[in-house]
């Protein structure tokens, strides 16, 4: 694209000198103004005067400020078919409390175990054959349990299996 620097001027007392162009506090050549995407512009200041940048500002200054990352976080700047997401990131697993029934006294205690979430184990490693196992105590009431196993394979694919477990009277 041919660009005529005389087509950009700040009117001042008959002087026709191209203005200086500053984009985000960096001086640009005025002919590069065409490379600024209008949708990236947050603000434009037009300054008139002969002493603004010494010899370079004799024709005035066009100061352009482009949008920051924070400006794009606002949904107004996002196309309707796009959605901004902020992932939670990596989190350390918290410890899940599970009672220990390691003695006959604890196993035969009169206090009922009425937990609704019976077991949660954030890390289960498989052996060389891809087999893993875990143990847990059920609650005291006979019931059916939904068992959900979720994880990631070595290749990053998602693993999810859901099944039922029935516990009858002792």
- Domains of the chain by residue range: 5-77, 104-167
- For the stretch 50-69, pLDDT in tens is 566 666 666 788 899 998 87
Which residues face 148 on adjacent strands?
Answer: 162
Percent of residues, the chain, with pLDDT higher than 90: 8
Assigned CATH for 104-167: 2.20.130
Query: How far apart are the C-alpha atoms of 6 and 31, rounded to whole Å?
Result: 10
Ramachandran angles phi, psi of 23, nearest 5°? -115, 115
pTM value is: 0.39
Residue 32 above 80 pLDDT?
yes
Residue 24 above 90 pLDDT?
yes
pLDDT at 65: 92
- For the stretch 86-116, pLDDT in tens is 777 777 777 788 888 888 888 888 888 777 7
Query: How far apart are the C-alpha atoms of 103 and 136, rounded to whole Å?
Result: 15
Query: How far apart are the C-alpha atoms of 66 and 78, rounded to whole Å?
Result: 16
pLDDT at 107: 81
């Amino acid at each position: 694209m041919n660009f005529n620097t005389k087509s950009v001027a700040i009117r001042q007392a008959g002087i026709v000198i191209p203005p200086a162009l500053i984009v985000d506090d960096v001086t640009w050549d005025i002919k590069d103004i065409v490379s600024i995407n209008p949708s990236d512009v947050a603000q434009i200041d037009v300054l008139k005067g002969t002493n603004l940048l010494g010899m370079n500002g004799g024709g005035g200054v066009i100061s352009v400020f482009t949008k920051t990352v924070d400006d794009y976080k606002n949904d107004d700047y996002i196309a309707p078919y796009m959605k901004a997401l902020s992932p939670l990131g990596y989190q350390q697993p918290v410890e899940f409390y599970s009672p220990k029934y390691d003695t006959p006294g604890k196993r035969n205690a009169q206090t009922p175990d009425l937990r609704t979430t019976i077991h949660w184990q954030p890390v289960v490693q498989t052996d060389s054959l891809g087999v893993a196992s875990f143990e847990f105590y059920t609650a005291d009431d006979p019931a059916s349990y939904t068992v959900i196993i979720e994880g990631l394979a070595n290749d990053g694919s998602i693993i999810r299996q859901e099944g039922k477990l029935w516990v009858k009277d002792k």
